Amino acid sequence: MAAGTYWPQDARLALSYVVNVEEGAEMSIRDGDKGPEPVDELGVALKAPIRNFGNESNYAYGIRAGAPRVMALLGRHGARATFTAAAVALERAPDLAAAIAAVGHEACSHGWRWVHQFRLDESGERDFVRKAVASIEATTGTRPVGWLSRYLHTPRLRATLAEEGFLYHMDDYSDDQPRWDVVETNRGPRAIVIVPYALDTNDMKFWLAPGYTPQQWLDYAVATFDWLREEGASAPRMMSLGLHLRIIGRPGRIGALDRFMQHAASRPGVWVATRAEIARAFAAAMPPPADPAAH
């Protein structure tokens, strides 16, 4: 392994495609929530306790039309991705869950449902974690080893994840490389890998003001890739490209992802990997500071 890298084949950059699967697990009066999902592309955040059928159909687009495009594009480029999935979304889209498993993509937990878990107490959050694990294992055949919350979580979550056997946590935006975090659990200190995520290269930039055009998003993603790959000659670097079925899966946007993938594939020294693979490569190169039970 060359100086400055954790990655196989002395790669300069570990590239992580992250596909968020939230559709069908979002907040809804249909599922007993107090209000409808506030995050949408319609620009209408209802506060009344009524169903927002327009927003529900916008989410449904991600499964019906977006997912086939994203899956086809990943297959065309031979790229494996990490699908950060709210468990209930995969329960309601069994064909997608089966396709994720069949291709060898990673299913990472994005919660049991895509709701505000930070409102839960410790026992409630632990139950939330366990329900997500059991559900994703049932729909994909593989237990998730990573976790991404919806925005916020309780101060206790990372310790709970370590106790529940998770390899990595990605609710972090503080770096361009993994690191260890040692947390105090009910069983003593435990280490967990932090695999940072990124918001600036996320496809939500298409509709969060000021919204990017597909070309602007592509230009920014390519610039990020090129800079990190250059730095990777002397220091470990990873890049996350965050995607959503209902966002990048639109016919006017999917081409920008295709062109990014073409660019990435044309450059040497790039390791396209799942986040579990990235966490394991890091852990193998950098043993945990103090945790004999770490993965």
Higher pLDDT, residue 82 or 40? 82
Query: Quick one: pLDDT at residue 3?
Result: 45
Query: Quick one: pLDDT at residue 227?
Result: 98
Query: Quick one: pLDDT at residue 40?
Result: 79
Q: Which residues pair with 189 in a beta bridge?
A: 184
How far is it, in rounded angstroms, from Cα 108 to Cα 147? 6
Higher pLDDT, residue 33 or 68? 68
Alpha helices in the chain (DSSP H): 53-61, 67-77, 87-91, 94-103, 122-140, 157-163, 214-231, 245-248, 254-265, 275-285
- Percent of the chain exceeding pLDDT 90 equals 81
- Mean residue pLDDT of the chain comes to 93
Q: Is 128 helix (H, G, I), strand (E, B) or coil?
A: helix
Query: Quick one: pLDDT at residue 295?
Result: 45
CATH class of 8-285: alpha beta
Dihedral angle sign, alpha carbons of residues 177, 178, 184, 189: negative
Alpha helices in 3-121 (DSSP H): 53-61, 67-77, 87-91, 94-103
Query: Stretch 234-238: mean pLDDT, rounded?
Result: 95
Query: Stretch 8-30: mean pLDDT, rounded?
Result: 95
Contact between 83 and 275 under an 8 Å Cβ cutoff? The reply is no
pLDDT band at 4 (very low <50, low <70, confident <90, very high): low
Contacts of residue 140, defined as CB under 8 A and 6 or more positions apart, other chains included, come to 90, 97, 98, 100, 101, 107
Give the residue extent of every domain in the chain: 8-285
How far is it, in rounded angstroms, from Cα 27 to Cα 33? 6
Query: Quick one: pLDDT at residue 1?
Result: 47
How far is it, in rounded angstroms, from Cα 243 to Cα 175? 19
Looking only at the bridges linking them, the beta strands covering 188-194 and 179-185 are: antiparallel
Q: Which residue has the tokens 């994005």?
A: 110
Identity of the residue numbered 65:
A
For residue 284, CA distances in Å to 8, 68, 216 come to 11, 35, 37
Dihedral angle sign, alpha carbons of residues 51, 52, 55, 61: positive
Helix or strand holding residue 177 (H, E): none
Query: Quick one: pLDDT at residue 259?
Result: 98
Per-residue model confidence as pLDDT tens digits over 118-156: 889 999 999 999 999 999 999 999 999 999 999 888 899
How far is it, in rounded angstroms, from Cα 146 to Cα 30? 29
Query: Stretch 177-187: mean pLDDT, rounded?
Result: 93
Query: Quick one: pLDDT at residue 279?
Result: 98
Q: CB 13: neighbour CB atoms within 10 A?
A: 26
How far is it, in rounded angstroms, from Cα 261 to Cα 253? 13
For residue 222, CA distances in Å to 65, 68, 241 come to 26, 24, 10
